[in-house]
Amino acid sequence: MVYVCKYCGKQNSTPDYLAGRSCSTSPTGKHVIMSEKTVYICKYCGKQNSTPDYLAGRSCSTSPTGYHELME
């Protein structure tokens, strides 16, 4: 599961990591994690989607299984 700052797009798997750091694009001066919306990322090609099923059902040229595999 990956958390994304909705202003600068910075990603981290730990929400506290982003929340505690300053963001130059955010009006609050800190990263703001996209509300409720989690982004799933293929660990082989880096493709992102908010729906895990979207990635899991599609083929990936970089993955050894031939399908996208989501990052933990």
17 binds Zn ion (CB under 5 A): no
Cβ of residue 47: shortest distance to Zn ion, in angstroms?
5
Using the minimum distance from each CB to Zn ion, give the nearer residue, 7 or 17: 7
2 vs 45 by CB, closer to Zn ion: 45
As given in the structure block, the two tokens for residue 32 are 């703001």
Q: Using CB atoms within 10 Å of the CB of residue 49, give its burial: 0 to 12 exposed, 13 to 18 middle, 19+ buried.
A: middle
According to DSSP, the residues that pair with 4 across neighbouring strands are 11
Which stretches of the chain bind Zn ion, using CB under 5 A? 5, 7-8, 10, 23, 31, 42, 44-45, 47, 60, 68
